[in-house]
Amino acid sequence: MRDSLDDQLDALDADLVAMTTAVRFSLARASAALLEGDIEAGELVISGDTVIDAARESCEADAFSLLATQQPVASDLRRVVAGIRIAGDLERIGDLAVHVAKLARMRAPEPAVPETARVMVAQMASVAEGMLESVAIVLGTHDLDAAVALLTQDDELDGLYRSTFRRLLSDQWPHGVETAVDIALLARYYERTGDHAVSIARRIVYQVTGEVPLG
């Protein structure tokens, strides 16, 4: 009975790691569409969103089945409930990647990000993708130190987000209102990705310790 429960819990974790990897690749492709004009990559993100949606549904179905058949308690129950919510966070990150890809497609063949703003947006994309890589590690290892580190890893992303808005509101912004709105939306998509990554890390800490981390 215990072996069966452990196997099902490990399978759920493995599915969440695979889903994280898929979401990270989706965001990377969306960023390539945005910054490199790789519209084909963007189309893969948009069409592939159904796969990520299906992965969430599969994780949830497995978790609910586990609840019904194994009736886990204590840390095992927290692990299952956390898995359901983590799958939801990952699906929402996938949706954010789709938003990035659709903005790139909407502005094609013109670049969605002007040359003078590329570094700023590319930095946000890089940090967000790095956070997702950390999420996969945390989900695969349940390493509390790595989870706690991820809780503060988005400070850099938040700083870039604030810096982006200061630049958009500056009198020196040369690209007009429409482009400013695009960049503001992109900054929000990447910043929200970081928020979801932090949410996942907090759920892992709670899952392992039974305590909600502060901050």
Does any domain span residue 215? no
Over residues 23-46, the mean pLDDT reads 95
For the cut 90, the answer to whether the pLDDT of residue 9 exceeds it is yes
Does any domain span residue 58? yes
Q: What is the tens place of the pLDDT at every residue in 142-201?
A: 998 998 888 888 899 999 999 999 999 988 899 999 999 999 999 999 999 999 999 999
pLDDT-based confidence at residue 140 (cuts at 50, 70, 90): very high
Tell whether pTM > 0.75. Answer: yes
Range of the domain at 130: 2-209
For the cut 80, the answer to whether the pLDDT of residue 215 exceeds it is no
Please report, rounded to a whole number, the percentage of residues in the chain having pLDDT higher than 90. Answer: 75
For the cut 80, the answer to whether the pLDDT of residue 213 exceeds it is no
Does any domain span residue 214? no
Does any domain span residue 187? yes
Does any domain span residue 171? yes
pLDDT-based confidence at residue 1 (cuts at 50, 70, 90): low
Q: What is the CATH number of the domain that holds 168?
A: 1.20.58.220
The predicted pLDDT at position 196 comes to: 97
> What's the chain's average pLDDT?
93
| Lookup: tokens for 52 | 């990520």
Burial class (CB in 10 A: 0-12, 13-18, 19+), 104: buried
Helix (H) or strand (E) holding 13: helix 2-36
In the chain, how many domains are there? 1
The predicted pLDDT at position 2 comes to: 65
